[in-house]
Amino acid sequence: MDKTMLELQGMTMSEEHLARMKGIVLPANDKARSVADEKLRFDDEPAHYTGFLDAGA
C-alpha cells in the first residue's frame, strides 16, 4: 500500500525511509480513524469551521 501511495505521488523512497514513514503515519492514521469513527457524522462539514470561529465558538 505504501508503495502504491508513492507511485500515486510519483515519488521514490528507499525501503528504510519508507519504513520510517510507515512508523509515523500508521499509528496516526489509526488514531485519527478511530476518533472519526466515534465522532464524525455525515453533516460535519469543514466549511462550517471558520463561521463557527467567527461566531465566537
**Which residues lie near other proteins (CB under 8 A)?**
2, 5-6, 9-11, 13, 17, 20-22, 24-25, 28-29, 31-33, 35-36, 39-40, 44-46, 48-50, 52-54, 56-57
Nearest distance, CB of residue 38 and other proteins, angstroms:
10
For residue 20 the three cell numbers come to: 520510517
Nearest distance, CB of residue 53 and other proteins, angstroms:
4
SS3 29: helix
Q: How far is CA 21 from CA 4, 36, 53, in A?
A: 14, 22, 33
